[in-house]
C-alpha cells in the first residue's frame, strides 16, 4: 500500500475509534464548550472589550491542542499495551506513517471543538459568526490539523520513552494554551514566552483563524504555520527513527 493509502486508512480507522472514546468526547466536545462558557462570561462582563467570537475560536483551538496532546500520549503507549506495537514496527511500512495516521486522526477531532465552541457562542450567547475570508479560514483549519498532527508524532516519540506519559500530557495541556495566546495575548505573559510561542503551531493557527475572520492578513501566519509544520516533520522523522532503533537495541519495545 502506498504511504498515502496507509495514512488515509489509519486516519479513518483511528478517527472512528477515538470518536467513540468517552474520554475523547470529553476532551474534544465537553471541556472546550465549558471552558468557552467561562471565557464568554469573563469577556462579556469584564471591563475590557474582547470579541466573544475570538474567544470561541481560542477555546476551540484549545480543544484541538488537547486532542492532539492526548492522542499523541496514547498513540504508541496504547499500541504497546494492546500488543500491536511490534507489528507496527515490523511492518514494511515505515513507522512514521502509522503514527502520523493516529496523531492526524486525534488532531482532526479538534475540528469538532472549534465547531462546538462556535456553535455554543452563537446559540447560547448570541454571538454572530462572521468570517470575512472563508477560504483562508478553511486553509487555516486544514494547515492547523496537519501541523498539529506532525507535532503529535514528535510528542508521541518522546512520550514513548517516558513511562508516565499520561501524567505528562495532563501537565502540558494548560501551559501551551497560555503560551500560544489562545485566550490571552502572549504579550501579557513574561517576555521569554514570546519566542517560545513562535515554535508552537497553535500560535500561528489561532492567528490565521483570527486574521481570516477579521479580514486582515492571514497569509503570513499561515506560512509560518506551514514552516513550523515542516520543522516538526523533519524532527519527527529523526526522533521517531531514533526511538525505534533504541527500543529495538534495548529489546524494550513491548515493555511499559
Partner 1 sequence: MSAARLAVTGGVLSFRALFNWMRPGIYLPTMLGVPLFQIILFVYLGRYSRLHDDAFYIVGNAIAVSGMASVFGMTMVISNERYFGTLASVFASPAARIPLFFGRVIPVAFHGLLVSAFGFLTGAALFGFRIPALRLLPLAGVVGLTVVASAGVGMFLGSLGLRVRDVYFVSNVAYVLMLLVSGVNVSTGLLAPWLEALGQALPLTHGIAAGRAVLSGPGTPVLRELGWTAGLGTAYALAAYAFFRLWEIEGRRRGSFDIY
Residues binding partner 1 (CB under 8 A): 22-23, 25-26, 30-31, 34-35, 37-39, 41-43, 45-48, 50, 163-164, 166-168, 170-171, 173-175, 177-178, 183-185, 188-189
Grid cell locating 164: 508516565
Q: Output 181 or 236, the one with its CB closest to partner 1.
A: 181
Nearer to partner 1, 47 or 249 (CB): 47
At closest approach, how far in Å is the CB of 66 from partner 1? 12
43/198 with CB nearer partner 1: 43
Pick between residue 25 and residue 115 the one whose CB is nearest to partner 1.
25
CA distance linking residue 161 with residue 86, whole number of Å? 16
| Nearest-angstrom CA–CA distance, 127 and 243 | 47
For partner 1, the closer of residues 131 and 168 by Cβ is 168
Cα separation, 247 vs 243, in Å, equals: 6
| Minimal distance, residue 197 CB to partner 1, in Å | 14
CA distances from 219 to 61, 137, 155, 163, 181 (A): 19, 10, 27, 40, 19
Q: Please say which residue, 98 or 113, places its beta carbon nearer to partner 1.
A: 113
Report the half-sphere exposure of 167 (CA within 13 A, side-chain side): 3
Give whichever of 33 and 104 is closer to partner 1, judged by the CB atom. 33
Amino acid at each position: 500500500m502506498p504511504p498515502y493509502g496507509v495514512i488515509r486508512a489509519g486516519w479513518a480507522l483511528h478517527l472512528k475509534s477515538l470518536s467513540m472514546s468517552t474520554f475523547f468526547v470529553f476532551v474534544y466536545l465537553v471541556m472546550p464548550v465549558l471552558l468557552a462558557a467561562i471565557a464568554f462570561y469573563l469577556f462579556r462582563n469584564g471591563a475590557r472589550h474582547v470579541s466573544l467570537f475570538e474567544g470561541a475560536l481560542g477555546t476551540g483551538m484549545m480543544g484541538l491542542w488537547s486532542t492532539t496532546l492526548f492522542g499523541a500520549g496514547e498513540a504508541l503507549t496504547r499500541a504497546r499495551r494492546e500488543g500491536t506495537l511490534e507489528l507496527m514496527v515490523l511492518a514494511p511500512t515505515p513507522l512514521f506513517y502509522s503514527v502520523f495516521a493516529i496523531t492526524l486522526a486525534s488532531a482532526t477531532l479538534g475540528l469538532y471543538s472549534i465547531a462546538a465552541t462556535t456553535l455554543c457562542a452563537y446559540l447560547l450567547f448570541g454571538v454572530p459568526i462572521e468570517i470575512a475570508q472563508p477560504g483562508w479560514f478553511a486553509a487555516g483549519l486544514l494547515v492547523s490539523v496537519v501541523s498539529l498532527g506532525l507535532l503529535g508524532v514528535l510528542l508521541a516519540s518522546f512520550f514513548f520513552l517516558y513511562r508516565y506519559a499520561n501524567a505528562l500530557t495532563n501537565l502540558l495541556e494548560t501551559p501551551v494554551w497560555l503560551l500560544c495566546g489562545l485566550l490571552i495575548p502572549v504579550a501579557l505573559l513574561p517576555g521569554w514566552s514570546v519566542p517560545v510561542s513562535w515554535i508552537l503551531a497553535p500560535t500561528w493557527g489561532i492567528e490565521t483563524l483570527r486574521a481570516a475572520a477579521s479580514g486582515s492578513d492571514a497569509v503570513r501566519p499561515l506560512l509560518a504555520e506551514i514552516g513550523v509544520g515542516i520543522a516538526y516533520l523533519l524532527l519527527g522523522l529523526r526522533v521517531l527513527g531514533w526511538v525505534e532503533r533504541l527500543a529495538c537495541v534495548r529489546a524494550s519495545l513491548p515493555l511499559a
